[in-house]
Chains A and B, each alone.
Chain A
Amino acid sequence: MLRFAFYRLLQAIPVLLIVISLTFFLVHSAPGGPFSADKAVPPEVIKALEAQYNLDQPLWQQYVSYLGDIVQGDFGPSFKYPGRNVSELIAAGLPATAELAFYAMLVALVIGVSAGVAAAMRPNTAQDYIPMSAAMIGICMPSFLLGPLLVLIFGIHLEWLPVSGWGDMPGDKILPAITLGTGYAAYIARLSRGGMLEVLSQDYIRTARAKGLSEPLVIAKHALRGGLIPVVAFLGPAFAGLLGGSFVVETIFQIPGLGRFYVQAAFNRDYTMILGTTVFFATLIIVFNLLSDMLAIWLNPKLRQQAQGKS
């Protein structure tokens, strides 16, 4: 298993290199620069600023020195937040974003798996059609529509929950988590329904029933593990997606997370900030994909033993 993880991380190096290079040259080829939007700055000041951040050097030299910095774990200083470097800014935004992603994932898993399993137990009945239609709506509903809608109903109309903030009032984390998690819940519901339907038609489920096991036990012990493998495989990309895709929700609910920095950095041409956050997200995506693959292997005894044999 360790050897598998090691090789996968080795493969990640060229992937990251491509991500860095593409992003680096793309942001630098975009018109404008970090200091061009500021109004009426004397040219000599801009020149001084550019010299300070090495922006007056040829592009390839900037590229090489940036790569050198990254290898040492240094994402460089932010152009727009003077005096703070990119690593500090990421560290400041990450806790809120990670917490939001975690709760959203919890919402997605609980709702998604139970709806999917319920649907698979009685296919082509109301118990199947109702959650699956809801899932379709959930997939189609963008979070910039769902968020305000939830705020309108539960925040303003019913006055049950706070309309914004993060950790300031009790219950202010519920609506953002639901808003972010719903789309993923819907997708997980469809995946677990498909996986469970497949497994429930297997011969070994019939064996389990013939043994006299009760239906809840058949589902929980014999069907879930095989049926949820597609969901496990989806967890990695989903978690990375939740971390990276939280910008809209963070904006709606005024959450001081990472997504805000990311989008602002793009508008500001904050080169090091764009690159830093991109590399950070790319690494997260790779790591979470690896984790979910390892989990899927661990769940399957045959693959688990092969993996152990190799390490």
Chain B
Amino acid sequence: MALLEVEGLKVYFHTRNGVVKAVDDVSFSVDCGETLAIVGESGSGKSVTCYSLLDLLPKPPARIEGGTALFDGEDLLTCDSTRMRHFRGNDIAVIFQDPMTSLNPFISIGEQLIEPLIYHPDPARKQSRETARKRAIELLDEVGIIDPKSRVDCYPHEFSGGMRQRVMIAMALINEPRLLICDEPTTALDVTIQAQILTLIKKLQETRDVAVIFISHDLGVVAGIADKVLVMCEGTIREAGDTDTIFYHSQNDYTQKLLAAIPEGAKQLPNRAQPDNVLVEVTNLKTHFTDYNKPSNQDNVIRAVDGVSLSIQRGEISGLVGESGSGKSTLGRSILQLAPTTAGQVTFDGTSLTGLNAKQLVPWRRKMQMIFQDPYASLNPRMTVYQTLAEPLLYHGLANRKTIDQQVRQLMDDVGLVHSQLRKYPHEFSGGQRQRIAIGRAIATKPELIIADEPVSALDVTIQAQVLDLILDLVERHNLTMLFISHDLSVVRYISDRVMVMNRGVIIEQGDTEALWADPQQAYTKQLLKAIPLADPRMERVRLADAQADV
């Protein structure tokens, strides 16, 4: 008998708008030393499935409508809250998605780490503060926190995202659980940190023989570490099987759609760059901020962009990659004069923008547009799609009252939205549709340059593929020049003609996409490229083994 056997699990949400079947008749099992990956897009019910096992769902609205979940022969779904406390954190531990919000900011990480030990419901396993603290320091060391003896008394805000996730992992392991649930543990992290965390989880699993449930929306991430894969969509299981079968011999349409949506390989379209026709020229650009958290007598300057020179040819798509904090978004905003530049020059179509005041910039704003990362936050929730799309046209005098209707409808066609949705508000659309609206707004003024700042990173993989294709199509049809900013190297490779790699405020390497992929020169670039998970189990296992050997 397996360690955990879930049979016919049903979790419904009873909302004002009716019953939502979040999880509908889901069955699976995990054994010791085994990794089960649950893969699905947002809203597929993968997290709800796992939270319901530990009674972590808000009730109401959630209600478990049926099924059993036998852990070591005992049903988790029917046990009372005292019994549940024995399972939580002791036999079954969870690593949550977002390490930035999952640790209590008011309590030192040492205190948070030892809590499962010092408040253990089982008196035999309960430990004193001193022994628990020693154990915490050992574990911090094991998950790769440097100088754990002094770091144990620090607060969460003194750690980076990757380090916080290590603390979360140490916290999950402190009671030697037999089942570890990882809910998108690397989604909020940079690709190099993701690689480290995945290697760490894999290593810990091998040394401790725990069962792991790994939840992810990204098939690439699970390819190397999962033994079995469960593909979920709309609360039901679409396909289940061992990893190789799912990746190489999938019978299911939805699984195949997921696999096909992973951006892979080189750009399909020819490079349309017009050589010797430079649209944007940036020389030694610097954007510095003052860090008010530091005393003014120390070095309190944040050098977000620190001496960047680049040029963008008319008609090309330039990719700008870098990890969080590398300054890539600030560089994009500085080029558009949306962030105050400290020094250097930005020339657009032969005119220097850096010296212009807000009023003088207005005609140039029409020619340079931006697509932002978060389509939920960057659209005004009180404006309809029509108003959002019409505003730039009217402001820049590109349309009058007679032609505006026609032009807005044309934009809706361009980005693949139907006319009947014109009078709707942003909250009535899905994430992908909202990003289409944002793209429509950006191309409304017929700009020459578009800076796209992580335009697809908030989207599910199938939607991401559609939006990328839309962007490529629009660039082609409207003769656009684009600077495409992303932390996701596969996406950048899929869309860009040329790539620039940014780290700590400077561009450390640039070149034609395929040339750079084939032969990266800088150590940092090599490290970045090596960290990309591959959606191919056999190759990914080799890559992970290599990475482990490197550690």
A residues touching B (Cβ–Cβ < 8 Å)? 202-204, 206-215, 217, 221-222, 225-226, 299-302, 305-306, 309-310
Contact = CB atoms under 8 A, between A and B. Distances in A.
A207 B119 contact: no
A296 to B, nearest CB: 12
Given A206-B102, A212-B119, A301-B157, A221 B295 contact: no
Nearest to A205: B104
Contact of B294 (A214, A301, A309): A309
A295 B116 CA distance: 29
A309 B119 CA distance: 34
B56 A209 contact: yes
Contacts of A300: 105-106
Nearest to A300: B106
Given A214-B119, A310-B295, A302 B155 contact: yes
B88 A211 contact: yes
B88 A210 contact: yes
Interface in B96-113: 96, 98, 101-108
Contacts of B105: 204, 226, 300-302
A306 B105 CA distance: 14
Nearest to A304: B155
A67 B171 CA distance: 62
B294 A207 contact: no
Contact of A211 (B89, B155, B295): B89
Query: B interface, how many residues as a size bin?
Result: 20 to 34
B213 interface: no
Contacts of B116: 211-213
Contacts of B103: 204, 207
A221 B107 contact: yes
B98 A203 contact: yes
Given A210-B93, A302-B157, A306-B293, 18 more contacts: A203-B98, A204-B101, A204-B102, A206-B56, A207-B96, A207-B104, A209-B88, A210-B54, A210-B94, A212-B90, A213-B115, A213-B116, A213-B119, A214-B121, A222-B104, A222-B106, A225-B107, A226-B104
Q: Is the interface of A mostly helix, strand, loop or mixed?
A: helix
Contacts of A210: 54, 56, 88-89, 93-94, 96
A309 B105 CA distance: 18
Contacts of A306: 293
A31 B76 CA distance: 79
A228 to B, nearest CB: 11
B88 A222 contact: no
B86 interface: yes
B102 A203 contact: yes
Given A299-B106, A301-B157, A212 B101 contact: no
B85 A212 contact: yes
Contact of B171 (A209, A211, A221, A225): A211
A68 to B, nearest CB: 37
Nearest to A207: B102
Interface in B437-469: none
Nearest to A204: B104
Contacts of B87: 212
B132 to A, nearest CB: 13
A301 B293 CA distance: 13
A202 B157 contact: no
20 contacts: A202-B101, A203-B101, A203-B102, A204-B104, A207-B94, A207-B102, A207-B104, A210-B93, A211-B93, A211-B116, A214-B121, A222-B104, A222-B107, A226-B104, A226-B105, A226-B106, A299-B106, A300-B105, A301-B105, A301-B157
